[in-house]
Structure 1
Amino acid sequence: MAAKKRDLKVIGRLEPINFPEWDLYGIDAKIDTGAYTSSLHCHHIKPVQKDEGEYVRFNLLDPSHETYNDKLFELPIHRKKVVKSSNGSREERFIVKTKVQLFDRLLTAELSLTDRSEMRYPVLVGRKLINGRFLVDVSQKYLSEKEIKEQT
């Protein structure tokens, strides 16, 4: 059952997002209702075969990002998806699952791994994650930070 509009948290066009399982906090995310799947900026994205199945190995962010720590991740591939990027090109991407925190909500997210170094924000939050949970006010940004300040 879909949540009623009054029950949905309002978020802005930009919000900080946390990845608690990866010890990564306060990463700027662009909220994009035009994108279905959320995506995450990574580099050195390589598939690896293990006894347990298909995995993907990658580094989060890149050396130019202030929170980059050169940590290598290896996660099960949830699925693969052909994605049409904003410039019209198509690429096959690996989709992984992890927990994300947006405002006070801990959610399971599917993230496509891609090089977003040419983009302003390292994380793009798509409709699949926000649908039924949040309303987007594109005239606002960083509403979660404003909410925290109001509570203190």
Structure 2
Amino acid sequence: MLPKIIGRKEKISLPKLGLSLVWAKIDTGAYSSSLHAEEIREEEVGGLKVLKFQVLMAGHPKFSGKTVTAKKYRQKKVKNSFGQAEVRFLIETEIRIAGETYKAEFTLSDRSNMKNSILLGRKVLRERFLVDVTKTNLGKAYRHKK
């Protein structure tokens, strides 16, 4: 199967997190994907450890402040945009992009100083997509095809 062509920015959905058609930056220089989150904390609920965090989407007030609970999560050491190593929480969730749904891993980080709340890295793009850096939202053409 040939990879689909997407642009440098795409509208994606993260249905399990309640996010629908929000902008994500496609970053072929990053290995993993990242999602802006705040108030990230581990809690014990019913004797089990869970991860709670708020998803805050810049420019999307209807999605701002929603608290999400993840039962499956782990910590991962990553290099931030400044090349410094840090430990972040990582969750796995569904991503819908260009008419397809995949499982994807996202590290949670404070991206409030960044232009884009969601960054998609090579791991989710590999063998699925080619990126045309001159365009945006090419995935919409695939959403309407059956």
> Per-residue deviation at 1:116?
0.4
Partner of 1:100: 95
Residue equivalent to 2:38: 43
| Structure 2: runs of 5 or more not aligned | none
Query: 1:60 — aligned with what?
Result: 55
Per-residue deviation, residues 85-144 of structure 1 (Å, max 9, x unmatched) = 112232211111111100100010111011100111110001110101111111111112
Alignment partners' CA distance in 1, 2:64 and 2:143: 29
Unaligned 5+ segments in structure 1 are none
Equivalent residue letter for 1:16: K
Amino acid in the other structure paired with 1:71: K
Which amino acid in structure 2 is aligned with residue 134 of structure 1?
F
Structure 1 vs Structure 2 CA RMSD: 2.2
Matched, 1:81 2:76: yes
Count of matched residue pairs = 145
**TM superposition score normalised by structure 1:** 0.84
The code of the aligned residue for 1:18 comes to: S
Q: Kindly indicate whether residue 22 of structure 2 is the aligned counterpart of residue 27 of structure 1.
A: yes
1:21 is paired with a residue whose SS is helix
* Residue 115 of structure 1, aligned match among 102, 105, 110: 110
Report the residue type matching 2:39 in the other structure.
Answer: H
User: What amino acid is aligned across from residue 139 of structure 2 in structure 1?
Assistant: S
Q: Is the 8 A contact 2:19 2:63 kept in 1?
A: no
Distance 1:112 1:100 in 2: 14
Are residues 1:136 and 2:103 paired? no
The percent identity for this pair of structures is: 37
Cα deviation for residue 66 of structure 1 reads 2.4
TM-score of the superposition, structure 2-length normalised? 0.88
Corresponding residue number in structure 2 for 1:15: 10
Which of residues 67, 71, 78 in structure 1 aligns to 2:66? Answer: 71
Distance 1:64 1:150 in 2: 25
